[in-house]
Structure 1
Amino acid sequence: MTVVLAGGRIPAVSAFGVSGVDGLVDVVLDEGRISAVQPAGTATDVGTVERIPLDGRWVVPGLWDQHVHFTQWAQTARRLDVSRAASAAEAAALVRERAVRERAAGASGASGDDVLVGFGFHDALWPDEPTRSLLDAATDRPVVLIAGDLHCSWLNSAAARRFAPGTPDAVLREDASFAVTSLLTAADDATLDRWAADAARAAATRGVVGIVDLEYGWNLDVWMRRMGAGGGRGGDGVGRNGGEGDAAGLRVEFGIYGEHLDRAAGLGLRTGAAIPGTGGLLTVGPFKVISDGSLNTRTALCSHAYPDGGHGVANLTPAELVERMRFAVDHGLEPAVHAIGDEANRRALDAFAAISAGGRIEHAQLIDPADVPRFARLGVTASVQPEHAMDDRDVADRLWQGRSGRAFPLADLHAAGARLAFGSDAPVAPLDPWAAIASAVGRTRDGREPWHPEQAIPADVALRASTRSTLSPGQPADLAVLDRDPLAASPDELRTMPVATTLLAGRVTHDALR
């Protein structure tokens, strides 16, 4: 069946691959693709048609979040939010309140046996130290608080005995922390899949049609199961009624980590290849390698010292990084290198040069000016999360004092010809591309003065960094219908952009018009 989005507008048509059509338009969708964009009222010579009146709303390509940890994001809403804690004592008080409340309510785990998990703390600016005794005094239940950057976790004594016996530290960093947090998925597969479906539905309300899922672990089987449960619909163009709200309401590219690299190579998985039985919605993503740590944890690898004298951590030697990346490329997998500090970014770019192949650098938060032009020259995408600039601005000003003008250098990267790809790193930031776009355009949030506004980029550049397609005939019918013109909106208006409808391959996954 043909679907016609009738009477819409395309903001700055040249920015979205459309030429020769202006004013109100009809966008014609057939078999999951755009078949025509033509003046409104002229899409009459077609077969069986479903018309969706847009009444002058704006049509843009569907949005992508190009760096998420989806299963963790699906669980985050069910975890204790400690993101606003201004001190270790305040975070411990939130733990105490949650434990008391659950005990009084007779909630599962009130006996003290199950783990209380919190998420979102940022201790770099805390005036006190996160200690085991603080959490021990809050509850006798095992407590694991995960930092907002996912690179460290804070355990009480009961949690340490269970998850990290023999470890004297209250705060675990990098691999030691990852080892603990990987054990915290207590829910069964059916429950996690239901939460994932909820998260997919919520993403669709923000115009999202696709994600790059860099969840830790082996994600092929996870997403095959989720797509199978949703029927694997992808290209049938069935209009309004196809499986709205299930986990098949997104395109998914799944990442592969080092411990599974041989397995992926043995299966012949290649970046960009579609997985059979998923209707074209599930494809192989990049090979993810974590080369350094994070800013808040003070483990991002930097050329200059932090206030405590450290330079961060290198998880791999330069030779090891090149070896893994070359193996991946030789087996058809695109490298995606996590690099936050300027020294980590330099080493990642050196590695791309050594293997004579392009790929992605995830985060690219602090970059030496001499390295900025290398992204375009080497064909390396800057896969960045603009909302992190708003989360980290105060920490960056303290820990990268005197250098934060080259932190999150979006304008410099764009001017140098680098390809930008926006994501959230959810649950580090919410899975909402409009937040990323607003931060990239305005470099501000919560009414604060813009932070290094010289690194702001235009709205059309930010929107292209959050999309994968255009509105040209032959392109996927992955679309978002908006109640505002995104290229004329203020940063605050971008952040709260009302999304009227989202379509995935011509199938409506979110509908606020009816």
Structure 2
Amino acid sequence: MTIRFRTLLTALLLSPVSLLADTLLVKDVNGYTLNAEGDLITFSNMLVEDGKVAGLNVSGSQQTDRVLDGGGKTLLPGLIDAHGHLLGLGANLLEVDLRDSTSAAEAAETVAAYAFANPEQRWITGRGWNQELWSDRAFPTASVLDEKISDRPVWLTRVDGHAGWANSQTLALAGINKDTPDPAGGKIVRDMDGKATGVLIDNAMALVESRMPAASAKQYAAQLDAAGQHLLSQGVTAMHDAGISHAVYDFYLQQAVEEALPVRIYAMIAATDPDLNQLLANGPVIGKQDFLHIRSVKAYGDGALGSRGAALLAPYSDAPHQEGLMVTQPEEFASLFNTVLDAGFQLNFHAIGDRANHLALNQFEKSFKQTDGKALRNRIEHAQVIDVADLPRFAELGVLPSMQPTHATSDMNMAEDRIGEDRMAGAYAWKTLLESGIPLPLGSDFPVELANPFYGLHAAVTRQDRNNQPVKGWYAHEAMTLKQAFKGFTLDAAYAGHMEKRIGTLEEGKWADFILVDQDIFAIPATELWKTTVLQTYLAGDKVFEASGQ
């Protein structure tokens, strides 16, 4: 343990809670929360003492320092996103956004306009393109970018973060040419002559990203501020950051000491970080005010479905010569799993395809026989396409499927094309997994998807997009009830982060993280859920966001 880390950690753990003795009465609200058993309960007022819930439906007159009159509005616990990328969201908010582009040419025009407006930027970076939403459904090429900007390197990440699009200058800086081999777990997309086209998939992205200038603490701070304010405006008061580097680990620790974290962060150390063993040796980080917890590792199994990087047990239905990519090679699983679990850290394994899920479950089963890791609430992140025979194994092994409902509604235009109708029986199988008896923590995977949790609640309950299509829902037999989805974004998400005694519900003794919204989500048609607007957001009883006009 370094001297600097020991000093920061001591400051974090021993710093007194900054909240002064304070009482808040929240009255005249249409309140909903779950209890520890997952039952939905209602309340009309709430007493908060020193930032924590002291009681619901309190009777009699209360002498309090502050009073919040809810005016009959609906109050909910602060929502928890169980899988996102905090600084990635911040970067996305600050760089060129290609989410709405309808073609490669339009995306290149957007990039050119951004580059013109930001002449000081050495690299032009962006995110959000998705060829599956373009009419030709074809990967873009470097030449399209070259026509618009060739004087600076350009690097544009696909919406799922599992592919990147470069211009020719970027390819040259990365040393990528016809003779460059595909790295293990990666793919350089090539033309008929073997020349790199400009798209790199999964581990091949490192060929470019290793040449990019490292982010500074100033950039991290700007990203953190942008992302934090955005999440609070969406009603998200806590999130699980799925894969942080040593540099971000140190940055978060410093921000926690300075009490500058805008939301509660449950951070997962990236298994690919070269300092993983050192960070494991530091032990868990749990601050007294619960704004930063670091006690888990994010490992990377395969790629994504949209870029055909998800690892499948049989070839893709729409590309019979492809079976996807294993980003971490199977022969490396045992050492990685056992190292993380032996250190007492939860292991959260990215697996989208049925092969990646199958191999991960197999290794968890083996490792649990060699370690005490089963009680750590280990997770498979995404768990999108699962062999039907593997579905009950999550509950049997106590491995949590950490899922993102809007992935299903975003993928429905291509998922069946990719894997065929038969394999859809184990895809996005939320209800089946819940009925097996395993908690189902929910998130968005922002900035892959939009961070608004009400979009996730809507997708979970309706299996529809925000145009309410298809009318009867997409594979609607796997839809959740609203209470199940609400639990996924509150109690189950807290449980997945070992924080269910601190946050997730508005029970006595837990932090008073809550939001006021403009409609009663339990009284409106499910098709209207996504339209919910957050009016105010509170962390530990303090207002941290208010919509304009309130």
Q: What's the TM-score once normalised by structure 2's chain length?
A: 0.81
**What does 1:155-174 correspond to in 2, within 5 Å?**
155-166=166-177, 167=180, 168-169=195-196, 170-174=198-202
Tell whether 2:107 aligns with 1:94: yes
Give the Å deviation of 1:97: 4.9
Tell whether 2:486 aligns with 1:463: yes
Q: Distance in 2 between matches of 1:152 and 1:437?
A: 28
Deviations 1:120-161 (A, max 9, x none): 122357444422222222221322121111111111110112
Q: Look up the SS of the partner of 1:345 in the other structure.
A: helix
Q: Distance in 1 between matches of 2:479 and 2:56?
A: 32
Tell whether 2:92 aligns with 1:76: yes
In structure 2, what is the equivalent of residue 364 of structure 1? 383
Q: Distance in 1 between matches of 2:48 and 2:231?
A: 22
Q: Distance in 2 between matches of 1:453 and 1:507?
A: 40
Give the Å deviation of 1:442: 1.0
Give the Å deviation of 1:342: 0.9
Q: Distance in 2 between matches of 1:13 and 1:387?
A: 23
Give the Å deviation of 1:182: 6.1
- How many residue pairs end up in the alignment? 480
Change (3 A) 1:470 1:29: same
Q: Distance in 1 between matches of 2:399 and 2:515?
A: 28
In structure 1, what is the equivalent of residue 256 of structure 2? 227
Determine if contact 1:58/1:481 at 8 Å carries over to the other structure. yes
For residue 370 of structure 1, what is the amino acid of its counterpart?
A
Determine if contact 2:521/2:529 at 8 Å carries over to the other structure. yes
Determine if contact 1:61/1:480 at 8 Å carries over to the other structure. yes
For residue 91 of structure 1, what is the amino acid of its counterpart?
A
Q: Distance in 2 between matches of 1:291 and 1:92?
A: 33
1:482 alignment partner, one of 506, 517, 525: 517
In structure 1, what is the equivalent of residue 49 of structure 2? 30
Stretches of structure 1 lacking an aligned partner (at least 5 in a row): 233-246
Tell whether 2:61 aligns with 1:44: yes
Stretches of structure 2 lacking an aligned partner (at least 5 in a row): 1-21, 181-194, 369-373, 495-503
Tell whether 2:233 aligns with 1:205: yes
Q: Look up the SS of the partner of 2:363 in the other structure.
A: helix
Change (3 A) 1:43 1:225: farther
Deviations 1:396-426 (A, max 9, x none): 0211121334321111111111211111111
**What does 1:216-365 correspond to in 2, within 5 Å?**
216-218=244-246, 219-228=248-257, 231-232=258-259, 248-258=261-271, 259=273, 260-267=275-282, 269-270=283-284, 273-275=285-287, 279-306=289-316, 307-308=318-319, 309-356=321-368, 357=374, 358-365=377-384
Tell whether 2:143 aligns with 1:133: yes
Give the Å deviation of 1:18: 7.5
For residue 148 of structure 1, what is the amino acid of its counterpart?
V
Give the Å deviation of 1:82: 2.5
Q: Look up the SS of the partner of 1:288 in the other structure.
A: strand
Q: Distance in 1 between matches of 2:44 and 2:364?
A: 44
Change (3 A) 1:499 1:93: closer
Determine if contact 1:72/1:427 at 8 Å carries over to the other structure. yes
Q: Distance in 2 between matches of 1:289 and 1:208?
A: 24
Moved more, 155-164 or 324-333: 155-164
Tell whether 2:470 aligns with 1:442: no
In structure 2, what is the equivalent of residue 148 of structure 1? 159
Q: Look up the SS of the partner of 2:516 in the other structure.
A: strand
Moved more, 74-83 or 196-205: 74-83
Q: Distance in 2 between matches of 1:146 and 1:328?
A: 29
Give the Å deviation of 1:282: 0.8
Give the Å deviation of 1:435: 1.3
2:424 alignment partner, one of 386, 404, 407: 404
For residue 477 of structure 1, what is the amino acid of its counterpart?
A
In structure 2, what is the equivalent of residue 242 of structure 1? none
Q: Look up the SS of the partner of 1:133 in the other structure.
A: helix
Q: Distance in 2 between matches of 1:101 and 1:426?
A: 22
Q: Look up the SS of the partner of 2:483 in the other structure.
A: helix
Give the Å deviation of 1:293: 1.0
Give the Å deviation of 1:297: 1.4
Q: Distance in 2 between matches of 1:355 and 1:43?
A: 55
Determine if contact 1:380/1:419 at 8 Å carries over to the other structure. no
Give the Å deviation of 1:117: 2.0
Q: Distance in 2 between matches of 1:391 and 1:164?
A: 34
Q: Look up the SS of the partner of 1:138 in the other structure.
A: coil
Q: Distance in 2 between matches of 1:82 and 1:12?
A: 37
Deviations 1:254-305 (A, max 9, x none): 11122332011221x23xx4147xx331111421110111101111111121
Give the Å deviation of 1:195: 3.1
Q: Distance in 1 between matches of 2:523 and 2:389?
A: 34
**What does 1:179-198 correspond to in 2, within 5 Å?**
179-181=207-209, 184=212, 188-198=216-226
Deviations 1:81-103 (A, max 9, x none): 333444xxx32343235425753
Tell whether 2:433 aligns with 1:433: no
Give the Å deviation of 1:380: 1.0
Moved more, 195-204 or 150-159: 195-204
Give the Å deviation of 1:350: 1.2
Deviations 1:361-408 (A, max 9, x none): 000001122211111111111111111111111120211121334321
For residue 65 of structure 2, what is the amino acid of its counterpart?
V
Change (3 A) 1:443 1:416: same
Give the Å deviation of 1:16: 8.0
Give the percent of matched residue pairs that are identical in Structure 1 and Structure 2: 28
In structure 2, what is the equivalent of residue 122 of structure 1? 130
Determine if contact 1:292/1:315 at 8 Å carries over to the other structure. yes
Change (3 A) 1:18 1:304: closer
Deviations 1:313-362 (A, max 9, x none): 22334442122111111101100000000111111111111122240000
Determine if contact 2:115/2:124 at 8 Å carries over to the other structure. no
Q: Look up the SS of the partner of 2:131 in the other structure.
A: coil
1:389 alignment partner, one of 380, 394, 408: 408
Determine if contact 1:16/1:470 at 8 Å carries over to the other structure. no
For residue 440 of structure 1, what is the amino acid of its counterpart?
A
Q: Look up the SS of the partner of 2:286 in the other structure.
A: coil
Q: What's the TM-score once normalised by structure 1's chain length?
A: 0.87
Q: Look up the SS of the partner of 2:486 in the other structure.
A: helix
Q: Look up the SS of the partner of 1:159 in the other structure.
A: helix
